Amino acid sequence: MKNILVIKLSALGDFIQALGPMQAIRKAYPEAKITILTTKPFVSFAEKSGYFDDIIVDERPRFYQLSKWFDLKSKLSAVAYDDVFDLQNNSRVRKYYRPLLQKGFVWHSILNELERKEHASIRHKRILARAGINDVPLDQMEWAGQDTDLKALGVAAPYMLIVPGCDPTRPEKRWPAERYASIAQYFADKAIQPVIIGTKDEAKEAEIIKSACADALSLIGKTSLFDIPALGRDAVMAVGNDTGPMHMIGPTGCKTLVLFSYASDPVKHAPVGADIKTLRKPELTSLSVDDVIQMIADWS
């Protein structure tokens, strides 16, 4: 029996984009024991996906936390892996984690820096193709949110999703909440309920949107990550910033419009999915409501 290690540590959007390759590895090696090395936020994703037999959690130890390094080494070296698929593709993995493994494995990763600059979906397909795996599907996350009760959340079709937040330390990636309020009203006028999703960090944005659009429903802080694909599957459309939840909505087939600033490039960072569109301005404050509505109208 083959022993295979898959490495994918972070972040949310990147992990979601790696689900298709993970599914492909599982399909290519149905009898293998497949282990994933990941970080704590993604353990539940690895468990629910059903693609892995074992999970090793990287606690991201500092260089001086020797006991944690010894613990990680003991876990990684406990198995003689035949193949290692590095889907993280960074120097930390190559310099610090690869040497912890027993020798004799085949290492599957990027070959050069040009590949690192490609979109993750392209990069992953290259890595798998060199291992003889050419069928790499889009993981639509059907396994996520099976228990989500939309009625209990107060959501009724037809509805659309607004994702006004992102990493709170990256305000340059946020389109102004007042403009999301105009988008919410645009849909409300068409009898489509705007549903705002995010964490408590977006509470202020949700208040601004709701104050301008009384028909908007705020689910801020009321959903789990696994509720997001469930919401995406039945939504008319989703509009939001370049943030992890948009990467979870895109694969469901929902029409997904992502707004980008100079801080990230859609060529490299756009979500994957069957119906994705992006708008980009160097400064999101220069992206007008009319620009967004025009794209929505043309698309619809």
CA distances from 82 to 10, 38, 79 (A): 24, 19, 9
Q: Report if residue 31 sits inside a domain.
A: yes
Q: What's 178's domain CATH number?
A: 3.40.50.2000
In this structure, the answer to whether residues 83 and 173 fall within a common structural domain is no
Count the domains in the chain.
2
Indicate whether 300 pLDDT > 80.
Answer: no
CB neighbours of residue 102 within 10 Å: 12
In angstroms, rounded to a whole number, what is the distance separating the alpha carbons of residues 186 and 15?
A: 33
In this structure, the answer to whether residues 271 and 186 fall within a common structural domain is yes
In this structure, the answer to whether residues 155 and 207 fall within a common structural domain is yes
Q: Report if residue 138 sits inside a domain.
A: no
Q: Which two tokens stand for residue 172?
A: 């340059």
Tokens 């549903």 sit at which residue?
195
In this structure, the answer to whether residues 54 and 172 fall within a common structural domain is no
In this structure, the answer to whether residues 174 and 266 fall within a common structural domain is yes
Half-sphere exposure of residue 275, counting CA atoms within 13 Å on the CB side?
A: 16
Task: Among 65, 96, 130, identify where a domain stops.
Answer: 130
Average pLDDT estimate for 87-99 = 91
Tokens 């613990």 sit at which residue?
71
Task: Among 66, 100, 130, identify where a domain stops.
Answer: 130
284 SS3 class: helix
Domain carrying residue 89: 3-130
The predicted model scores a pTM of: 0.94
Q: Report if residue 137 sits inside a domain.
A: no
In this structure, the answer to whether residues 118 and 154 fall within a common structural domain is no
In this structure, the answer to whether residues 240 and 272 fall within a common structural domain is yes
Q: Is 163 within 8 Å of 70 (Cβ atoms)?
A: no
Percentage of the residues of the chain whose pLDDT score is greater than 70: 100
- Quick: pLDDT tens for 261-278: 999 999 999 999 999 999
In angstroms, rounded to a whole number, what is the distance separating the alpha carbons of residues 246 and 68?
A: 34
pLDDT bucket at 96, cuts 50 / 70 / 90 = confident
- Quick: pLDDT tens for 145-166: 999 999 999 999 999 999 999 9
Indicate whether 185 pLDDT > 80.
Answer: yes
